[in-house]
Amino acid sequence: MPKVFLLIVLIWPVAAALLLHFVRGKAARALALGASLIELALVVAMTTQFVPNSQVQFELNYPWLESAGINFHIGVDGLSLLLVLLTAFLVPLILLASFRHDYENPSAFYALVLFMQTGLLGVFVALDAFVFYFFWEVALIPIYFLAGVWGGERRVPVTLKFFIYTVVGSLFMLAGFVYLYYMTGANGAVRSSDLDAFYNLNLSAAEQSWVFLLIFAAFAVKMPIFPLHSWQPDTYTEAPTPATMLLSGIMLKMGIYGTMRWVLPVLPKGVSIWADYVMVLAVIGIIYGAIIAIRQRDMKRLVAFSSLSHVGLMIAGMFSLTAVGLQGTTIQMLAHGVNVVGLFFIIDIIQRRTGTRQIPELGGLTRATPLLSVTFLVLVLGTVALPLTNGFVGEFLLLMGVFQYNAWLGAVAGLTIIFGAVYLLRMFQRVMLGPDTSFSALIKDLTASELAVLVPLIVLVFWIGLFPGTFLHLSEPAINKLLVLINR
């Protein structure tokens, strides 16, 4: 397969986004969905040609600012390929889920979704620091408008808060990248912003310590990690459901992936200095997010805090710096993306049919909605890590990694499974199985288009749970290479 194939995968969504400005109404929906399905087909074709090893494949490396040593350098290994697959898989489902709403100016709405897809893909395939930063910012712009224009009543202050958090964090990351870039030119060498050049730097522990803080700041906000999380629940709640799906299903993975790619192997001494602090904050986030989720009455906010708790476990597993912890983080990124997108879609379905997502106002919905009940339950069980579902594989590996790092932290982190069962199963019980309400007999079951969104997600819940080797086999060589770089 020609090297330019990855470039086609990268620019196809933004090309389709530009075409959307020439169509209106339902034609915009059809074009956006068609473009996203073509993108999925391209990514699947690329995956079939991928050889599971530690080498970067489909690599392109062209001069961008040649005099400054900055190249347009992109490529994929097993780690980045899984996230490219996740993005290409979820975007068509998110677009299809949005068809139930009549958004004002749909051409702009769907164009922003596709434009954001290019930004997300660029982050996952970038092998040059400034290319990575460019796509990092490109992914931010569409979500700002999606949430700020089509969001809820409090969309303006909430979106502004999110924007300030992410932009400030991004500026810290840029400062760290600039410092690393200049250090590649030490002793008369040619400066370069290439990832391999960063790997070959020989910085002191003190230098790596404060550069770690600069770069990790941006990733910590995006994941987010406690206490930099305050933008998340409000943004998830106020943003339109497709934007919430993009934020939770894919965009937060940018921070986790960025840490694995641009922090752990580039600044191993800095990581060793700060790892204990990050682990403690991650475990605090696990417990804090779960406790706040238990107290929520709004289903959307409950899932938002649930996401904070589950991301805390991913961060802890990642900073255990073990093979099982890093593999657990990788597989859990996929599982979390599938589950959280499905849960937000289920909540959107219930809200559209009943006019509310307040748990105390709902009950007895399962009587008239067997299909909705089954799909809802499967996604809940996947999220609470029931064996044979996708969440179990990731959480098992993550907890193994945290236990290897510190048994006490592992024991506390393990509470996420108990807490998750409490707030998610209780939400399901009250909404679907609770006392009958005025909605019990009137609510309609899933339509064919809604099943078209949920069935692929359910398939992935069981595929990842039953055959995790399909995905772990792809990422294992890349993870082993990361460990060699971290421990060098």
pLDDT single digits (tens) 342-371 = 999 999 999 888 888 888 888 888 888 889
| DSSP bridge pairs for 62 | 72
Amino acid identity for residue 395 in this structure: E
How far is Cα 350 from Cα 371, in angstroms, rounded to an integer? 13
Is a pLDDT exceeding 60 seen at residue 442?
yes
pLDDT at 2: 62
DSSP SS3 for 60: strand
What is the average pLDDT across 232-254? 85
- Report the Cα 462 to chain-centroid distance in Å: 20
The H or E element spanning position 50 is none
| CB burial readout 381-401, b (16+ within 10 A) else e | bbbbbbeebbbbbbbbbbbbb
What CA–CA distances, in Å, run from 153 to 98, 156, 158, 232? 19, 8, 10, 16
- Measure CA of the first residue to CA of the last residue in the chain; give whole Å: 34
pLDDT single digits (tens) 104-126 = 788 888 999 999 999 999 999 99
The per-residue pLDDT of the chain, averaged, comes to 88
Is a pLDDT exceeding 80 seen at residue 185?
no
pLDDT higher at 79 or 443? 79
pLDDT at 332: 92
pLDDT at 184: 83
CB-based contact 161:107 (threshold 8 Å): no
Is a pLDDT exceeding 90 seen at residue 293?
no
CB-based contact 292:229 (threshold 8 Å): no
Sign of the dihedral through C-alpha 36, 40, 46, 51: positive
CB-based contact 344:244 (threshold 8 Å): yes
pLDDT at 307: 86
- pTM score above 0.85: yes
